[in-house]
Structure 1
């Protein structure tokens, strides 16, 4: 049986693959409808539709390559319904790279782990 930690790590790897393939619409099921995302510069994106739209806008930029988020730790709550994922992220744009730390909050909804909120901090 797959542990919650393994399931979250697997879903993160899959989002990385979809981002690398520039598949914005296929990312939507990974986000709670009311997801809250704080991007690396402190901007706020509210709702799954807005997150998908933001990805689509970046994918349209010919200089955008990908984002890779690397999970370092997953902590589960006592009930097994919420989890905190901590890790590092790297953004690759032709000719430049940004990187930093992130925290994602996952919740179990309808038998699947979805992202409830994310915070990205640009450090370089």
Structure 2
């Protein structure tokens, strides 16, 4: 499971990054668990649930000069006993081609019906 989980999660993360760059809201929904939780990096706002997160991205996509966020996974640690994994990496927000914020993140993934979905993400703003 380790190699296939690692590759599958990296592919799902790449799909999420593409959806953010292209402001493709319908592509984001299938990547999120129904009860997904995100804790933002700067103000530690908690966005709970797929619907709430999709609404947040919709607002973000409507901004005049919007941030494009990219998450770059460094490690994926699959559980040997459950269909879950932990992703750790670096994130960056760019607006108008200029980096605006960056930091570290962790994401918990779960395999549901053969597809990996994000259950939780927490971000730390460092720059």
- TM-score (norm: length of structure 2): 0.92
Correspondence 1:103 to 2:106: yes
Q: Which residue of 2 aligns with 1:21?
A: 22
Query: Which consecutive unaligned segments of at least 5 residues does structure 1 have?
Result: none
Alignment partners' CA distance in 2, 1:75 and 1:29? 22
User: 1:92 Cα shift?
Assistant: 1.0
Alignment partners' CA distance in 1, 2:116 and 2:61? 25
Q: Which residue of 2 aligns with 1:115?
A: 118
* Contact 2:68–2:95, Cα closer than 8 Å, also in 1: yes
User: 1:76 Cα shift?
Assistant: 0.6
Q: Which residue of 1 aligns with 2:13?
A: 12
The C-alpha deviation readout for 1:34-92, integer Å capped at 9, x for no partner, is 00100112110000011111011011002114100000000010125000000000011
Q: Which one of 63, 66, 74 corresponds to residue 64 of structure 1?
A: 66
- TM-score (norm: length of structure 1): 0.94
Alignment partners' CA distance in 2, 1:92 and 1:62? 13
Q: Secondary structure at the match of 2:91?
A: strand
Q: Secondary structure at the match of 1:79?
A: coil
Q: Which one of 76, 79, 84 corresponds to residue 82 of structure 1?
A: 84
* Contact 2:89–2:105, Cα closer than 8 Å, also in 1: yes
- Equivalent pairs counted in the alignment come to 124
RMSD: 1.5
Query: Which consecutive unaligned segments of at least 5 residues does structure 2 have?
Result: none
